């Protein structure tokens, strides 16, 4: 049976990393053109004695959606014998899944190219093209805010203790007008979202000095303290809670890399 660590990592990969594939398709012109005429449901699943875990992407001629769980009739399935093998696959290790629907060669090749594009999230990926740098920053903050919520929902004791004692609070991350994401915490429950939360003033607002201000932190070249000192980042609200949130971000990164 999979360990608690494997289950949590699988949860992050399936429910936080995989969804940002949709952003790649939306923001990368070449990938958008590749999927423009596609109508398909693509399943990712991993077996575990405690229960199969899965998620799937749906494409419908330029539109896309993400779904947790198992798809009734997928067109293409990437299946793994264990959570550990699926985690290794998403972490870039040489793991070959069992593929159902492989005869749909065009769809398979497009999906593989999309999975390869997700490697931009890996720590060693350091694109020089400004558009790719911007995409990496956007994907990272979309992924990490969702991952924080999933870390809580997945039952991490320290994260649950941290969220349980808080009233409704918004942790906002802003890079520029186009790139923003937030985590909403309320009495132990969490919800991640994209954009700016407008119904309540942020309890903590991490406001980056554009993509170039955010990029050194995304690449782990500086920590938050150094980023503030250098003018890459300003933090409005509680520095204590901002630091605690940053610690959870580091734990998630270590979990999936």
147 by DSSP, 3-state: which?
helix
Angle at 172 between CA 137 and CA 189, to 5 degrees: 115
Domain, as residue range, for 64 = 4-121
Total number of domains in the chain: 2
Of 87, 121, 155, the one marking the end of a domain is: 121
**Same domain (yes/no): 222, 150:** yes
**Same domain (yes/no): 29, 103:** yes
Task: Read off the CATH number of the domain in which 203 is found.
Answer: 3.30.1050.10
Confidence at 257, pLDDT banded by 50, 70, 90: confident
Of 91, 121, 151, the one marking the end of a domain is: 121
Confidence at 50, pLDDT banded by 50, 70, 90: confident
Note the pLDDT tens digit of each residue in 2-33. Answer: 789 999 999 999 999 999 999 999 999 999 99
**Same domain (yes/no): 113, 134:** no
Give mean pLDDT, residues 152-176.
96
Q: What is the pLDDT of residue 1?
A: 58
HEC-encoded secondary structure of 53-117 = EEEEEEEECCEEEEEECCCCCCCEEEEECCHHHHHHHHCCCCCCCEEECCCCHHHHHHHHHHHHH
**Same domain (yes/no): 239, 209:** yes
Confidence at 84, pLDDT banded by 50, 70, 90: very high
Q: What is the pLDDT of residue 175?
A: 97
């Amino acid at each position: 049976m999979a360990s608690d660590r494997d289950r949590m990592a699988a949860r992050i990969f399936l429910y936080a990393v995989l969804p940002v594939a949709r952003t790649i398709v939306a923001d990368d012109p070449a990938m958008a053109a590749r999927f423009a005429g596609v109508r398909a449901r693509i399943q990712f699943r991993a077996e575990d004695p405690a229960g199969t875990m899965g998620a799937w992407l749906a494409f419908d001629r330029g539109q896309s959606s993400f779904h947790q769980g198992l798809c009734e009739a997928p067109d293409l399935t990437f299946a793994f014998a264990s959570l550990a093998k699926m985690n290794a696959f998403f972490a870039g290790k040489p793991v070959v899944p069992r593929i159902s629907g492989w005869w749909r060669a065009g769809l398979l090749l497009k999906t593989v190219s999309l999975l390869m594009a997700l490697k931009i999230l890996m720590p060693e990926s350091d694109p020089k093209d400004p558009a790719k740098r911007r995409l990496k920053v956007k994907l990272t903050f979309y992924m990490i805010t969702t991952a924080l919520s999933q870390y809580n929902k997945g039952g991490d004791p320290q994260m649950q203790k941290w969220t349980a004692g808080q009233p409704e609070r918004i942790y906002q991350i802003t890079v520029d007008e186009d790139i923003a994401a937030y985590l909403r915490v309320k009495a132990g429950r969490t919800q991640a979202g994209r954009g700016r939360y407008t119904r309540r003033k942020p309890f903590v607002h991490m406001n980056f000095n554009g993509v170039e201000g955010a990029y050194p932190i995304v690449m782990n070249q500086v920590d938050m303290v150094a980023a503030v000192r250098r003018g890459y980042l300003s933090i409005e609200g509680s520095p204590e809670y901002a630091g605690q949130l940053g610690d959870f971000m580091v734990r998630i990164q270590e979990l999936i890399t």
